[in-house]
Every structure is written in structure tokens, then in C-alpha cells.
Structure 1
Amino acid sequence: MVAEPASLPATSPHDTRSAVLFGGVYGSVLACAMVAALTQYGHASRASRRYDALWLLVTALASALAHGYAHIIAERGPHRGWAALRSVLRTLLDEWPLVTAVLPTVVILAGAGWGWWPPNGVEYPAFVLNITLLFTLGLVTARWAGRGWGSALLIGVADAMLGLVVVVANAVIK
């Protein structure tokens, strides 16, 4: 007797917690890498910081769209008509954490462009913010997984350092 294939769940296989964590990590690394690349090859004027903020936001939106599109292709179901359109829109909207994760860095860059603080050296607070976010996400997920505080702190530090390595590698490559 042949077993029936398992049916797919009616809802998206990506729960909110996973989407927020994925988007938070992806967005933080993306923001750091973009700031590193834009700072290395750009200028530190107010106008360039506004441009950098816009580029970061456009890049985050494009990355979210590309990631959502990949999910649509990989998880294409039997839906047709309006159900298919709703499924596509929901999949694309599920990428909001990635865009949200870059918004603090967009504000830092735009704020420098609007004269809220000096535009020169603004990349350092952006790096600190995003590396801190990676540390926090590592710490929180380790605690959710039942790890003790000591272990969770080490995991948070390791995640922050891994993020730093990825950012440096991206900056060097670009």
C-alpha cells in the first residue's frame, strides 16, 4: 500500500516569529553592508547622506520584493484567480520585517542629510545600531530556545560577530 502524500498546510509555512527574525537579520546585515559600501565610495555631504538613505530604502524594498518573489515561485500552489492574487500579495507583504529592519539606519542617514547631526562619521552609529540588533536577535532567539543567560549571551556575541564578518566581506567585495 502506498502512503498518501502529506497535504500542505493551508497557511504560509513561515510563521510571524520566523519572518521577523529572518527579516531583522537580513535587514540589519543589508543596512550595514550598504552603509559600508556607500561610505567607502561616496561622499559625506548632507546631500549624499540623503541619497544614501534613499538608496538603502530602495535596496531594502527591492530585496524584499526579490525574496517574496522567490517564495512565490518556490511555494506556488493550486490557487487560481483572486485566491492566487491574495496569496501573492500576502507573500509579498510578509517581507515587511526586512524593510522595517533597515528603517532605523535610513533615519540615521536621512537625519544626517537633513542636518540633525553631522553627515561625516554617521556610519559608525549605524554600524553600532545594526550590530546591536544582531546581538539582540541572537540573544532573544537563544532564550526562546531555552538556553541559559550565559549561553544566550555568548550566542548573541557570536551572532553579532558573524554579522560583522558578513558586513566586512560585503564591503570588501563591493
Structure 2
Amino acid sequence: MSTRAPGPLPPRRRGEPLQRLLFGGVYGTVLASVLVAALGHDTGPTSPGYDAVWVLLAALASAAAHGYAHAIAHRAPDGTTVTVGTARSVLTEWPLVAAVVPTVALLLGAYAGWWSEGTAIDVALLLNTAALFGWGLWGARAAGRGWASSCRAGGVDMLLGFLIVGANVLIK
């Protein structure tokens, strides 16, 4: 028996799609950066195509896990089926997957022989660090902050990228 009063579901917050986009963008960018940084430490022959597939699979698995966990956490107490809701929740994690596409494209370019895997990794880390600044700037501007405050927020997000690059340099 349901304890929820009959009637329409409460409206979704207007900012939720933007929040999901920003969350997925930052999460996916950090995930791609960490994965691509780890790739430079292979002891065997380089395999940028294999690496690109694994970066993409990791993003897909992360998006599916996050969407599924979100659906489970918000499961209806009345016991109704959540199959459609779960699928919808997983599909709303597309920004996480989209954020790894530039890194995957760079690795596929290395696979095609357009540049080396090392160059792809270095450019991906640089590009992802710049993207983190953009995500932070965009999020702060969307929240109504001024340009100076938004640039500071972008700079803080960009620090995540610098930490990954720094760790990559230290580990090498």
C-alpha cells in the first residue's frame, strides 16, 4: 500500500538538467584525465586503440553505475517497478560519457598514426585541464556569480587537472 498521496509527481527543478550536465562534465573530465595519465606508464608496447576503448568503457561503466545508484537511492517506497526510471536515470548520465570523447579521439588519432600515444596523452591532459576551468567557470556563471568569482571557481576546478598532471610527472 502506498503512503504517498495520489496526484501528480512534484515538478523537477529547472536547474537539474544543467546540474547533471556540469556534474557529468566535471566527473567525466577528471575520469578521462586520471585514466589517460595512467596510460603513460605501460611497460609494454603502446596500444592507443586498446587504451581508447578502455577509457570509453570506463566512462560507460561509471555512467551506468552512477545512474543505477541514483535510481536505487530514489526508489519508490510503494514497490512500483523502476525499470523505466532506472533506464532513464542511466541515460541522463550521458554528459559523463561525452566528457571523455576528446580524450578518446586523441587516442584514436594516435592509433591512426597521426601522432604518438605520448603526444595524445599530453594533449589530453592539457585539454582536460582547460576543460575543467571551463566547467567551473560555466557552473559559477550559471549560479549567478560575477566574472571574477567565476574565474576563481574555474581556477579551483582547474587545480584538479594540475594535480593529475603533477602526479603524472612525479610518478614517471
For the aligned pair, the TM-score class normalised by the smaller chain equals 0.7 to 0.9
| Aligned with 2:103 (options 84, 102, 105) | 105
Aligned residues: 165
Q: Which one scores higher on RCO, CA 8 angstroms, separation ≥ 6? A: 1
State the partner residue of 2:51: 52
Q: Decide whether the 8 Å contact of 1:64 with 1:92 is kept in 2.
A: yes
> Which residues in structure 2 correspond to 1:144-155 (within 5 Å)?
144-155=142-153
C-alpha distance 10-55 of structure 1, shift in aligned 2 (>3 A):
same
> Which residues in structure 2 correspond to 1:122-161 (within 5 Å)?
122-161=120-159
Q: CA deviation at 1:112?
A: 0.6
2-side partners of 1:110 and 1:93: how far apart? 25
Q: CA deviation at 1:121?
A: 2.6
Q: CA deviation at 1:143?
A: 1.6
**Aligned AA for 2:30?**
V
C-alpha distance 163-128 of structure 1, shift in aligned 2 (>3 A):
closer
1-side partners of 2:115 and 2:42: how far apart? 21
TM-score w.r.t. the length of structure 1 is 0.82
Give me the CA root mean square deviation.
2.9
C-alpha distance 169-76 of structure 1, shift in aligned 2 (>3 A):
farther
Unaligned runs of 5+ in 1: none
TM-score w.r.t. the length of structure 2 is 0.83
**Aligned AA for 1:67?**
H
Percent of matched pairs sharing the same residue? 47
C-alpha distance 59-80 of structure 1, shift in aligned 2 (>3 A):
same
> Which residues in structure 2 correspond to 1:62-73 (within 5 Å)?
62-73=61-72
**CA shift digits 1:67-117 (9 cap, x unpaired):** 111112101013634xx3221110110111100110111000111111122
Q: CA deviation at 1:147?
A: 2.0
> Which residues in structure 2 correspond to 1:19-38 (within 5 Å)?
19-38=20-39
State the partner residue of 1:87: 85
1-side partners of 2:140 and 2:112: how far apart? 38
Unaligned runs of 5+ in 2: none
**CA shift digits 1:3-24 (9 cap, x unpaired):** x99x963658982101100100
2-side partners of 1:171 and 1:79: how far apart? 51
C-alpha distance 53-71 of structure 1, shift in aligned 2 (>3 A):
same
